[in-house]
């Protein structure tokens, strides 16, 4: 296990925070178990379409038995870290501080606007999340994958002994990578040497060495006499030694095309990087007679945990491995040619099988946590709908400039299948937890297709408002306003309130006006069309969470088809790297394609209700009511009374 993140539980008791029933906002009804599942990048418009197509039976059941919101309005920028921060805290980034997937270092007086850190870190969140409120109120909490939960000391630093023993557990693998996803093609096969005993084989056997973090695997490709196939048809993998008696583990793989099961994956191999321990898996999709192969090796992560070492190990053993799927390898053609490059769907089916394995792991881990710890509140998350959206939405979105009806017709079933696998997991959770448990399905933001990249800093440079150093970075001494490296959807004045800032407050208004004018005048050289529809100040649309110490001064509402970039300079407009365009989110949350989802069912929830549009900040107060705890203390969202039976009281 890694670093000092593992929090050893104190044997001493702790002083409890607010007890259940204290704080006024709680219900008289018996509190419910609440499970909240987040599907990253599950756009409301996509989920609506998939429901109409009948592809999401478990979401449909939630809607039928419980509550479905017309849509959920996300945070701005509509990105993963701000969306989840709003969901968990009940307040947007002007208060919770998570203004992007990266955030500035604060206070401004002590840092330049070039300094940043991850927006997913617990330290970046300045408002209390529901999982902490619940634990402090005496609830038993399992945050199996929740943004801002790590390091947990951030939340319980005032409790003697730190994390409340036995009633708060959180896990994250995001910052403890052991090995990345990799696809081996057999190009490094050599004549076999130094194997004490070779398995029965015909002709020449060839070997390859696979280094995976601190582990070494020896692969042996050979022609099995018992297998009628001519040439190489079998791959033996041994961990640590070519000698079967000394190897730490081994498996024999036969090539097999992707299928709708995970039985073809290898057993797990325990590997490490330094002190971080996790599991990897292999999957041999093809092995040609001459030795070329598609051998997928699954990424491995350790878990940073607020749980005992024993609990963390038991959970990882039951779970099997943290989120992993080879989207990068797929895009690079390493699973075979993608459909967009003339493939026949083989590469997509292989990718889907890897996602299927991940969803199997999610089922196992969630079931284990429910049985083992019986949590009152369980958080979990899955990233694949987002990854698939980024990869394919450029051609799938009918409004995208790269929309391709023929290709979209072939890709949509695969995109739908990603959702369907996550839906299967949802059904498994419902089956494991029972229909009384409150199950809430949310997403952090929507998704839309674009074909072009827009660089606002290039416009500001042309307008004389921004200057670059000879190395190409922002020159703070000569930059009045910019999209800082941690933000692409808004601009920040380099005011004297920042360290090394240059714009005094008396000149601020003039800078804002000049920047607004320049941006509104920017045109796409290819089409002559305006790129920026509106430039908003936080006061123009109150309630979206614009502004605040971590926020900006001017927010961009872009014309469809453009994704903004925080680069310091370069062309004003250029095509996105992928030929098929890209799926993007971050846009103004009033834009329907950015809308996220909200489904809720279980005891205490009204049946068959359809709510109008609601906001991400309404989720935490509503779930807190069902859980029988006060709303998170900084929350400004409201309880969705219409979603609750008898108002949840
Ligand atoms: Zn995303």
| pLDDT tens for each residue of 183-242 | 999 999 999 999 999 999 999 999 999 999 999 999 999 999 999 999 999 999 999 999
* Cβ count within 10 A of residue 488: 25
Separation of 93 CA from ligand 1 center, angstroms? 18
CA of 127 to the centre of ligand 1 (A): 23
* Ligand 1 centroid to residue 488 C-alpha, Å: 14
CB 220 within 8 A of CB 199: yes
Residue position matching structure tokens 């002083």: 15
**Residue 595 preceded by cis peptide, ω within 30:** no
| Chain segment 235-292, per-residue pLDDT in tens | 999 999 999 999 999 999 999 999 999 999 999 999 999 999 999 999 999 999 999 9
Report the C-alpha gap between 25 and 621 in whole angstroms: 9
* 584 CA to centre of ligand 1 in angstroms: 7
Burial class (CB in 10 A: 0-12, 13-18, 19+), 40: buried
71 pLDDT above the threshold of 50 = yes
How is the chain split into domains, by residue range?
A: 6-91+127-176+354-449+593-648, 179-300, 452-575
Report phi then psi at 503, rounded to 5: -100, 110
Instruction: Tell me the CA–centroid distance for residue 387 and ligand 1, in Å.
Output: 7
DSSP string, 36-77: EEEETT--HHHHHHHHHTT--HHHHHHHHHSEEES-EE--SS
For residue 390, how far is its CA from the centre of ligand 1 (angstroms)? Answer: 6
Share of the chain above pLDDT 90, in %: 91
State the Rg of the chain over Cα: 26
User: Which tokens hold the place of 448?
Assistant: 């839309």
CA 575 to centroid of ligand 1, rounded, Å? 19
94-117 pLDDT tens trace: 999 999 999 999 999 999 999 999
Distance of CA 108 to the CA centre of its chain: 28
Q: Write out the two tokens for 119.
A: 């927006």
Nearest residue to 243 via CA among 194, 191, 203, 192: 194
Q: Name residue 283's beta-bridge partners.
A: 296
CB atoms within 10 A of CB 382: 23
The rounded Å distance from CA 4 to ligand 1 centre is 29
**How far apart are the CA of 639 and the centre of ligand 1, in A?**
28
10 Å CB burial of residue 505 (0-12, 13-18, 19+) is exposed
Of 247, 293, 284, 248, residue with least CA distance to 266: 284
Nearest to 74 by CA among 582, 641, 543, 634: 543
Do residues 389 and 397 touch, judged by C-beta distance below 8 A?
no
Query: What value does the mean pLDDT of the chain take?
Result: 93
Ligand 1 center to residue 339 CA distance, Å? 22
Q: Quote the pLDDT of residue 160.
A: 83
How many angstroms separate the alpha carbon of residue 581 from the centre of ligand 1? 14
Q: Does residue 352 surpass a pLDDT of 50?
A: yes
Q: How far is the CA of 196 from the centre of ligand 1 (A)?
A: 49
Q: How far is the CA of 593 from the centre of ligand 1 (A)?
A: 13
SS (H, E, C) 555-615: EEEECCCEEECCCCCCCCEEECCCCCCEEECCCCCCCHHHCECEEEECCCECCCEEECCEE
Find the 340 Cα to ligand 1 centroid distance in Å. 21
> What separation, in Å, do the N-terminal and C-terminal C-alpha atoms of the chain show?
44
* CA–CA gap between residue 629 and residue 622 (Å, rounded): 10
The structure tokens 């634990």 sit at: 135
Pick the more confident residue, 52 or 18. 52
- Give the CA angle between residues 276, 278, 282 to the nearest 5°: 140
Grade residue 164 by pLDDT with cuts at 50, 70 and 90.
confident
Contact of 172 with 148, CB cutoff 8 Å: no
Residue of 365, 397, 476, 419 lying closest to 112 (CA atoms): 476
- Identify any residues that bridge with 315 across adjacent strands, giving them in sequence order: none
Burial 91-124 (b: 16+ CB within 10 A, else e): bbbbbbbbbbbbbbbeebeeebbbbbebbbbbeb
Helix (H) or strand (E) holding 516: helix 505-521
Among the residues of 339-474, which ranges form H helices? 346-373, 384-396, 405-433, 456-462
**Residue 301 above 60 pLDDT?**
yes
Q: Is the confidence at residue 374, as pLDDT, over 60? A: yes
Ligand 1 midpoint to CA 245 (Å): 46
By residue count, the chain amounts to 649
CA of 633 to the centre of ligand 1 (A): 28
Question: How many A from CA of 528 to the centre of ligand 1?
Answer: 29
| pLDDT tens, residue by residue, 436-472 | 999 999 999 999 999 999 999 999 999 999 999 999 9
6-91+127-176+354-449+593-648 folds as Alkaline Phosphatase, subunit A (3.40.720)
Q: How far, in Å, CA of 349 to CA of 86, rounded?
A: 35
C-alpha 321 to ligand 1 mean position (Å): 21
Burial degree of 612 (CB within 10 A; 0-12, 13-18, 19+): exposed
Q: For residue 91, how far is its CA from the centre of ligand 1 (angstroms)?
A: 21
Asked whether 171 and 319 are in contact (CB, 8 A), the reply is no
Q: From the CA of 44, how far away is ligand 1's center (Å)?
A: 15
- 216: CB partners within 8 A, 6+ apart: 209, 210, 239, 240
Average pLDDT over residues 379-388: 98
Please count the helices (runs of H) and the strands (runs of E) in the chain: 14, 34
Distance 192 CA to ligand 1 centre (A): 44
Distance 334 CA to ligand 1 centre (A): 22
Q: What are phi and psi of 509, to 5 degrees?
A: -60, -40
Judge whether residue 530 has pLDDT over 50: yes
Dist. CA 411–CA 396, nearest whole Å:
8
Element (H, E) at 316: helix 309-319
> Which H/E stretch holds residue 276?
strand 276-280
d(CA 79, ligand 1 centre) in Å? 7
Which of 3-12, 84-93, 248-257, 612-621 is predicted with the least confidence, judged by mean pLDDT? 3-12
296: left (phi over 0), alpha (psi -120 to 50) or beta: beta
Q: How confident is the model at residue 22 (pLDDT cuts 50, 70, 90)?
A: very low
305 forms bridges with which residues in the sheet? 171
Instruction: Kindly give the distance from the C-alpha atom of residue 550 to the centroid of ligand 1, in angstroms, as a whole number.
Output: 20
Residues 6+ apart with CB under 8 A from 228: none
Give yes or no for residue 13 having a pLDDT over 50. no
CA 487–ligand 1 middle distance (angstroms): 15
Q: How far is the CA of 445 from the centre of ligand 1 (A)?
A: 8
CA separation for the pair 481, 113 (Å, rounded): 10
Q: What pLDDT is attached to residue 30?
A: 61
CA of 173 to the centre of ligand 1 (A): 18
pLDDT band at 12; cut points 50, 70, 90: very low
Q: Give percent above pLDDT 70 in the chain.
A: 95
In this structure, how many other beta carbons lie within 10 angstroms of the beta carbon of residue 542?
10
pTM exceeds 0.85, yes or no: yes
- How far does residue 386's CA lie from ligand 1's centre (Å)? 5
Q: Other CB atoms closer than 10 Å to residue 125's CB: what's the count? A: 27
Ligand 1 centre distance from Cα of residue 186 (Å): 33
């Amino acid at each position: 296990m890694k670093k000092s993140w593992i929090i050893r539980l104190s044997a001493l008791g702790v002083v409890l925070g607010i007890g259940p029933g204290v704080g006024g906002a709680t219900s008289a009804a018996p509190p419910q178990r609440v499970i909240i599942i987040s599907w990253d990048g599950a756009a409301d418009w996509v989920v609506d379409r998939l429901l109409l197509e009948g592809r999401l039976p478990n979401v449909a059941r939630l809607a039928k038995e419980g509550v479905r919101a017309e849509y959920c309005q996300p945070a701005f920028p509509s990105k993963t870290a701000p969306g989840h921060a709003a969901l968990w805290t009940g307040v947007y980034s002007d208060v919770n501080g998570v203004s992007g997937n990266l955030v500035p270092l604060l206070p401004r007086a002590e840092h330049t606007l070039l300094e940043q850190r991850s927006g997913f870190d617990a330290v970046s969140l300045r408002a209390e999340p529901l999982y902490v409120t619940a634990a402090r109120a005496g609830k038993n909490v399992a945050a199996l994958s929740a943004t801002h939960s790590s390091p947990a000391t951030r939340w319980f630093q005032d409790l003697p002994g730190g994390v409340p023993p036995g009633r708060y557990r959180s896990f994250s693998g995001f910052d403890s990578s052991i090995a990345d996803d990799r696809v081996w093609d057999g190009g490094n096969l050599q004549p076999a040497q130094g194997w004490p005993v070779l398995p029965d084989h015909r002709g020449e056997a060839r070997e390859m060495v696979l280094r995976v973090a601190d582990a070494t695997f020896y692969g042996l490709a050979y022609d099995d006499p018992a297998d009628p196939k001519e040439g190489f048809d079998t791959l033996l993998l041994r961990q640590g030694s070519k000698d079967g008696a000394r190897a730490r583990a081994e498996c024999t793989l036969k090539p097999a095309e992707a299928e709708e099961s995970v039985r073809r994956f290898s057993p797990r191999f325990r590997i490490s990087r330094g002190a971080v321990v996790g599991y990897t898996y292999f999957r041999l999709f093809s092995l040609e007679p001459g030795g070329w192969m598609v051998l997928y090796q699954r990424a491995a992560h350790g878990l940073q945990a607020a749980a005992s070492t024993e609990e963390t190990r038991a959970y990882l053993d039951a779970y099997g491995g943290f989120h992993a799927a080879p989207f990068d390898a797929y895009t690079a053609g390493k699973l075979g040619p993608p459909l967009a490059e003339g493939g026949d769907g083989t590469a997509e089916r292989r990718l889907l099988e890897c996602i299927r394995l991940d969803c199997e792991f999610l089922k196992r881990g969630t079931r284990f946590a429910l049985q083992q710890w019986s949590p009152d509140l369980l958080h979990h998350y899955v990233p694949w709908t987002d990854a698939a959206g980024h990869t394919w939405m450029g051609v799938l979105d009918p409004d995208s400039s790269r929309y391709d009806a023929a290709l979209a017709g072939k890709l949509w079933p695969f995109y739908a299948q990603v959702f369907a696998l996550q839906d299967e997991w949802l059904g498994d959770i419902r089956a494991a937890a029972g229909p009384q448990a409150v199950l809430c399905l949310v997403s952090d933001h929507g998704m839309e297709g674009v074909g072009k990249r827009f660089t606002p800093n290039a416009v500001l440079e042309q307008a004389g408002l921004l200057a670059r150093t000879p190395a190409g970075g922002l020159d703070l001494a000569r930059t009045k306003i910019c999209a800082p490296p941690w933000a692409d959807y808004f601009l920040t004045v380099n005011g004297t309130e920042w360290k090394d800032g240059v714009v005094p407050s008396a000149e601020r208004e003039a800078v804002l006006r000049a920047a607004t004018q320049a941006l509104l005048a920017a045109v796409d050289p290819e089409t002559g069309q305006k790129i920026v529809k509106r430039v908003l100040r936080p006061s123009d649309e109150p309630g979206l969470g614009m502004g605040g110490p971590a926020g900006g001064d001017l927010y961009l509402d872009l014309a469809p088809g453009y994704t903004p970039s925080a680069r310091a300079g370069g062309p004003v407009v250029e095509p996105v790297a992928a030929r098929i365009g890209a799926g993007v989110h971050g846009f103004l949350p009033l834009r329907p394609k950015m809308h996220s989802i909200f489904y809720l069912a279980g005891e205490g929830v009204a049946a068959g209700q359809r709510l109008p549009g609601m906001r991400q900040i309404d989720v935490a107060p509503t779930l807190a009511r069902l859980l029988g705890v006060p709303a998170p203390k900084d929350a400004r969202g409201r309880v969705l009374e219409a979603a609750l039976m008898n108002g949840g009281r």
